Amino acid sequence: MKSYYFLILTGFLTLISFEQGFAKNIDLSSWSEYTYDLSGGQPPGKWILSNNNSTVVQRVNADPSFYLNNVNQTSYTMDGSFQVKTTSDNDFIGFVFGYRNDHQFYIFDWRQGTEGDSTYGNAKEGFRIIKINANSSKDLDLYDFWNSNTDNSTILASSYGDNKGWDDKTIYDFHLEFFPGKFTIVVYLGGTKKELWKITVNDNSFDSGQFGFYNFSQEQVEYSGFEQTGGIEALVSGCIELKGEPIKKGKAMLMQSGEIFQSVPLDDNGCYQFFHVNEEKPFGVMIRRTME
Ligand SMILES: [Ca+2]
């Protein structure tokens, strides 16, 4: 009998390595668009699929706009190409990841040119990593995405300067490695290994979440040929409230006989996620609220 089980295990591992060796372009038709409606802002984005759903273009000079993959996951890498297919405008293009909801996530953004605004602050030419962490999307405004560096919008890393902006009608390759507590981004000149920016950030605010395409006040941004490697989806998740308010201070514990006991802190929405569980066995989740 032992050899019988061993054969099944071998077949399973072979299947996994086969799939990883032949990553396919992601079908973007299951992704969904979202644009803020911020005070003093611009119209919603308009995302148009093409090329067998492996390419999407956002056509509008819009408020901050996303195209999200609807997968809450961690421990993956993502690769693909992006470009601005017009000579018009000089604004933000990029990606979001660790996206928990519309007020808690990371942004990688990239500007073509420096531009100051009397209301929305100064936006510099170059690259940034931003953490958006607000109590609600109602607390966000255009300043959080344009200038950033506010209570709701923290610049975790940046690289500014003349000649650091993107060029019109030029393809760039994007690489993200997203793991709990740590992520790395590399931007290459398209089709080459010439690194334009490489940054590793250690931050454990959002150790899982959705991935998405992002732009702000820039039209005709194309994202194409994306591939994912790895990825672990949350298997058990939930949120807890006390008198209608999220319990922010505390932890969730998942208990399952024969499995490793797991414990995670509650996030700012009183939510928790577990990425490992044996679906064939009963389990329990216990919430422990801690006091200030
Ligand atoms: Ca614009």
Residue 219 alpha carbon to ligand 1 centre in Å: 7
179 and 275 inside one domain: no
Asked if pLDDT for residue 145 goes beyond 70, the answer is yes
Q: Which amino acid is at 202?
A: N
Does residue 221 share a domain with residue 244?
no
- Has residue 262 been placed in a domain? yes
Residue 240 within a domain: yes
Residue 5 lies in a domain: no
Query: Do 171 and 81 fall into the same domain?
Result: yes
Number of domains in the chain: 2
Q: Are 134 and 105 in contact (CB under 8 A)?
A: no
Distance 61 CA to ligand 1 centre (A): 5
Protein residues within 5 Å, CB atom, of ion ligand 1? 61, 89, 91, 217
Domain containing 84 equals 24-233
pLDDT above 90 coverage of the chain, percent:
79
Q: How confident is the model at residue 23 (pLDDT cuts 50, 70, 90)?
A: low
Sign, CA dihedral 208-209-210-214, equals negative
Query: Residue 9 carries which side chain, given as an amino acid letter?
Result: L
Distance CA 166, CA 111 (A): 7
Are 136 and 241 within one domain?
no
Cα 167 to ligand 1 centroid, rounded to whole Å: 15
Q: Does position 21 have pLDDT exceeding 60, yes or no?
A: no
Name the nearest CA neighbour of 39 among 191, 145, 186, 114. 145
73 and 190 belong to one structural domain: yes
What's the gap in Å between 291 CA and the centre of ligand 1? 46
Q: What is the mean pLDDT of residues 236-252?
A: 94
Is residue 123 within 8 A of residue 155, CB to CB? The reply is no
Residue 128 lies in a domain: yes
With residues binned 3-state (H G I as helix, E B as strand, rest as coil), the percentages for the chain, rounded to 5, are 10, 50, 40
Distance 74 CA to ligand 1 centre (A): 32
CATH number of the domain where residue 223 is located: 2.60.120.200
Q: For the ranges 111-115, 255-259, 272-276, which has the lowest average pLDDT?
A: 255-259
Are 32 and 128 within one domain? yes
What's the 92 CA to ligand 1 centre distance in angstroms?
Answer: 8
Decide if pLDDT at 13 tops 50.
no
State in Å: Cα 88 to ligand 1 middle: 8
- The amino acid at 259: E
* pLDDT at residue 257 in the model: 85
CA angle at residue 131 from 102 to 249, to 5 degrees?
75
Please check whether residue 4 lies inside any domain of the structure: no
Average pLDDT of every residue of the chain: 91
Rounded Cα distance, 72 and 210, in Å: 5
Distance 19 CA to ligand 1 centre (A): 41
Q: Which residues contact 243 (CB under 8 A, 6 or more apart)?
A: none
Residue 147 shares a structural domain with residue 223? yes
Mean pLDDT of 177-206: 96
pLDDT tens per residue, range 68-97: 999 999 999 999 999 999 999 999 999 999
pLDDT average, residue stretch 245-249: 93
What's the CA-to-centroid distance between 230 and ligand 1, angstroms? 35
Residue 44: CB partners within 8 Å, gap ≥ 6? 35, 37, 60, 62, 63, 65
Q: 183 and 54: one domain?
A: yes
User: Are residue 46 and residue 178 in the same domain, yes or no?
Assistant: yes
- Note whether 35 and 66 are within 8 A (CB): yes
Q: How far is the CA of 63 from the centre of ligand 1 (A)?
A: 9
pLDDT digits (tens, 9 = 90+) for 264-280: 888 878 999 898 888 89
Phi, psi dihedral angles at 238 (to 5 degrees): 180, 175
Does the pLDDT of residue 6 top 50, yes or no?
Answer: no
Distance (angstroms) between ligand 1 centre and the Cα of 89 equals: 6
The verdict on residue 15 lying in a domain is no
Q: Which of 233, 260, 277 is the last residue of a domain?
A: 233
